[in-house]
Amino acid sequence: MKLWLTLFLALQFAFSAYAAEAVPLAEDPVVEQRMLIITEELRCLVCQNESLAASRADLAQDLRREVRGLIKANKTNQEIRDYLVARYGDFVLYRPAFKPMNYLLWFGPFLLLLGALVVLVRLVRRNQRNAAPTPLDPAQRAKAQSLLKDPGLHS
């Protein structure tokens, strides 16, 4: 009897330890859903190439907790993003803000594309000019004819 009791207590202890280690799931699936949508577009500052939604870093877990709290406090998605940007800077946003400092980031690729198109058009035009066929004079024509007729070429 005593053995069973010990075993029972030991098992209980083991399970409670397990429960403490599990990542706490939000009790509210709606909050969780919104939290994921917001944090998927935010960068984890510890791992940098992982989103806040996917990261297992300690800080990411804390920040997800903060975001859950803000959602429950009826903040809009923009307010929540602003909250994080105020603390960690624009770097947390995977989608950079559209403001003068970032214009090069937004327009840069299109400028490069435009430049490439200009170069392409100029190259094509120049080639067309150079490739314009010059007519053969009668002597050249006759030589070509004789070469084409030469049976030796076909053997």
Partner 1 sequence: MKKALIPLGIFIVLVVFLAIGLTRDPHEIPSPLIGKAAPLFSAPILQTPGQAFNSKDMLGKVWLLNTWASWCVACRQEHPILVEFAKTKSLPVIGLDYKDKDAEGLKWLDHLGNPYDLSVADRDGRIGIDFGVYGVPESFLIDKAGVIRYKQIGPITEEALRDKILPLVRELQKS
- The answer to the question of residue 86 lying near partner 1 (CB under 8 A) is yes
- The answer to the question of residue 53 lying near partner 1 (CB under 8 A) is no
Six-digit token pair at 149? 């007729």
- The answer to the question of residue 7 lying near partner 1 (CB under 8 A) is no
Considering the complex, what minimum distance in angstroms separates the CB of residue 89 from partner 1? 4
- The answer to the question of residue 109 lying near partner 1 (CB under 8 A) is no
Please, which residue, 87 or 143, has the CB nearer to partner 1? 87
Question: Which segment (14-22, 34-42, 59-67, 141-149) binds partner 1 by CB under 8 A?
Answer: 59-67
Please, which residue, 65 or 141, has the CB nearer to partner 1? 65
Nearest to 50 by CA among 36, 62, 60: 60
- The answer to the question of residue 48 lying near partner 1 (CB under 8 A) is yes
User: How big is the chain by its Cα radius of gyration, in Å?
Assistant: 35
- 114-137 core/surface letters (b: 16 or more CB in 10 A; e: else): eeeeeeeeeeeeeeeeeeeeeeee
Six-digit token pair at 3? 């053995």
Nearest to 71 by CA among 41, 42, 40, 29: 29
Give how many residues touch partner 1 by CB under 8 A. Answer: 15
Q: Which of 56, 72, 87, 141 binds partner 1 (CB under 8 A)?
A: 87
- Looking at this protein, which amino acid is placed at residue 45? L
